[in-house]
Amino acid sequence: MIRNINSDDIYKVIELLKAEIGGFNEKELIEKLKCDTSSILVYECDNKIVGVSATIANNKVEKGEVTIYVSEAYRRRGIGGKLFSKAIDYLEGKHINNIETEIRTEKIYSGDFFINMGFRKWFGYHKMMYCGEKVESDLQLINYDNKYYECYKNVYEDCFFELRSALGFKPTRACYSADELINNKDNIFLLLDGKDLIGAVSLINNEIDDLIVNEKYQGNGYGKKLLNFAINYYQNNDVENISLGVVQWNNKAIKLYMSVGFKAVVSCEVYCSIREK
């Protein structure tokens, strides 16, 4: 039976997701589930929650996201398809036609289901977790300030140009606004050479993100130094399950992450569909 999630289901869903994906911030997810239950559905069978779908509708950019998990023991029974159909109905009711979804591939491949539903594979990525030892770092970084916006913007756009081009993002050169960056300044760390930006990294919750190195400083080990700074920062703040994400074709980055102690623990593929209005 499919129904909307209720407060009694939240911890049952957490247990399901622990078994299926693991490595997430449990407290943060519980708060999200408590705050917005309108677009979360559960599938109940044998008096337990065996499937869940979460749907995000962003009307501002006319894009929707659908995430579905079904207990491994209950797969191949059509549960995922039923949850997915309800999620699509929800998005279409909000006039959302550009839809994304992602699947894990290290256990079982279900991409054909989405292809048959009119989706196409967009890209694949790995979620990597730090599995190394205690790390020391003497790197001196400062928090972001808008006086560095132009240099940050230029380095950021240079570093992500290839990725955005490969994924078909338009425009291919893009960066966060100055307001977005300053609002997140406590999580963005800059490595400077005088007034010149060597590189930067964002540390949010337990994730290492937006690691960038100025092109003229590349090849000098700064990427590895920034990674070690990030790991050391999290370890000193007792943060567990340090993670990052990397697209599957970025072998150079994967090699770097593995060299400092990261291992791929989850492999995913993202599918997208632009449906007729």
| 112-127 tens-digit pLDDT | 888 888 899 999 999 9
Q: Record the tokens describing residue 207, joined without a space.
A: 């994730």
Report whether 174 contacts 127 (CB < 8 A): no
182 and 113 share one domain = no
* Assigned domain for 188 exists: yes
Q: 11: Cβ–Cβ under 8 A, 6 or more apart, which residues?
A: 30
d(CA 250, CA 164): 13
Give the domain range for residue 254.
142-260
158 and 87 share one domain = no
* Cross-strand pairs, 204: 207
Q: What is the pLDDT of residue 25?
A: 63
Q: How many domains does the chain have?
A: 2
29 and 115 share one domain = yes
Report whether 108 contacts 269 (CB < 8 A): no
17 and 117 share one domain = yes
Three-state DSSP at 45 gives strand
| 255-273 tens-digit pLDDT | 999 999 999 998 999 999 8
90 and 195 share one domain = no
The CATH code of the domain that includes 90 is 3.40.630.30
6 and 121 share one domain = yes
Amino acid identity, position 135: V
Three-state DSSP at 139 gives coil
| 59-84 tens-digit pLDDT | 776 789 988 888 888 888 999 889 98
Q: Hey, how many other C-beta atoms are within 10 angstroms of the C-beta on 180?
A: 9
* Assigned domain for 130 exists: no
Residue-by-residue DSSP string for 71-126: -GGGTTSSHHHHHHHHHHHHHHHTT--EEEEEEE-SS---HHHHHHTT-EEEEEEE
100 and 176 share one domain = no
pTM greater than 0.85: no
221 and 192 share one domain = yes
* Assigned domain for 191 exists: yes
Q: Hey, how many other C-beta atoms are within 10 angstroms of the C-beta on 215?
A: 11
Could you list the pLDDT tens digit for every one of the 277 residues in the chain? 998 888 888 888 888 887 766 556 667 666 666 665 558 899 998 888 999 888 888 877 678 998 888 888 888 899 988 998 998 888 888 888 889 998 888 766 778 888 888 899 999 999 999 999 999 999 999 999 999 999 999 999 999 999 999 988 889 999 999 999 999 999 999 999 998 999 999 999 999 999 999 999 999 999 999 999 999 999 999 999 999 999 999 999 999 999 999 999 989 999 998 655 4
27 and 62 share one domain = yes
